[in-house]
Amino acid sequence: MTTSIQERAMLVNLSIGAWTASKKDNKVSKAVQANQAASAKAGWFNKRLIEPSHLEPINQIEGRARAMHYKMTLPWGDNGDRMLPSQAYFDYTDQLRQLRAEHEAAVLAFVASYPQMVQDARAMLGTMYEPADYPEANRIAERFSMNAVFSPVANAEDFRVDIGQEAVNEIKKSITAAAEQRLAGATRDCWVRLCEVVGNMAERLHDPKAIFKDSLVGNIEALLELLPKLNVANDYALTHMCAEVRSWLIISPTDLRKNKKLRAFTADKASLLLGQIKPWTLNTHATTT
């Protein structure tokens, strides 16, 4: 690795807690199994505790938070940690702050209506209704949360355990090798994202009958704004390719629709660039400056 990745990135783990509003009903499960002459291994019955639409506003915000998290970060650990380049930190935290505010407002609205939801569930569930299935009204808000935990990227030099220098050296090598492999995987993720948007343009423009939205170009433009922040390995090839894509593919969608020759030329150029991008999606090593 080149200059300290610890100085250029951190790890972030986004944790979202929610009340699922569903529960396994053992009584109904046994009744169904008996009625169908089936064993307990055949399955069970999960009942919805409230009308699902009540949770939809919260679910949508949670979905947007996860999408933002994956967009602004890169793959890293197996425990949910993802790498957040320092250049993207303020963008990430600003967006998360806004989403958390929306989430808290949606939870407050849910809590205000919760007692009525529980009453309505009596009619929805009939004999399956069990008061004990429902958290107390003054505790239901605790079931919802949205938190990001930041931590440093592991540094082999920080590993100090009294197990003998030879063993420590081997573990340090393992830590460094794992970090280098993960950094390569993070860079590959940038290439995969670029491959996806350029490939989508090539496919749509090559079909003269295909209708496309302005987002065909807008998605590429947005990614080109983000990738320099995510390019924590300072991959020169990625930087160069982003410049090429910007030069050839950022064209007015209106002009592409009106000018058939321009559309065909841009489609060919997108295909050419796509062919140059694809090999990097299989590469595990970044070319750094």
User: What are 181-225's pLDDT values in tens digits?
Assistant: 899 999 999 999 999 999 999 999 999 999 999 999 999 999 999
Percentage of residues in the chain having pLDDT higher than 70: 90
175 or 77: which carries more pLDDT confidence?
77
Q: Which pLDDT score, from 0 to 100, does residue 215 have?
A: 98
Torsion over CA: 74, 78, 80, 81 (sign): negative
160 or 179: which carries more pLDDT confidence?
179
Give the pTM: 0.87
Q: List pLDDT tens digits, range 243-278.
A: 999 999 999 999 999 999 999 999 999 999 999 999
In angstroms, rounded to a whole number, what is the distance separating the alpha carbons of residues 179 and 165?
21
Using CB atoms within 10 A of its CB, is residue 112 exposed (0-12), middle (13-18) or buried (19+)?
exposed
pLDDT at 1 over 50: no
Torsion over CA: 20, 25, 28, 29 (sign): positive
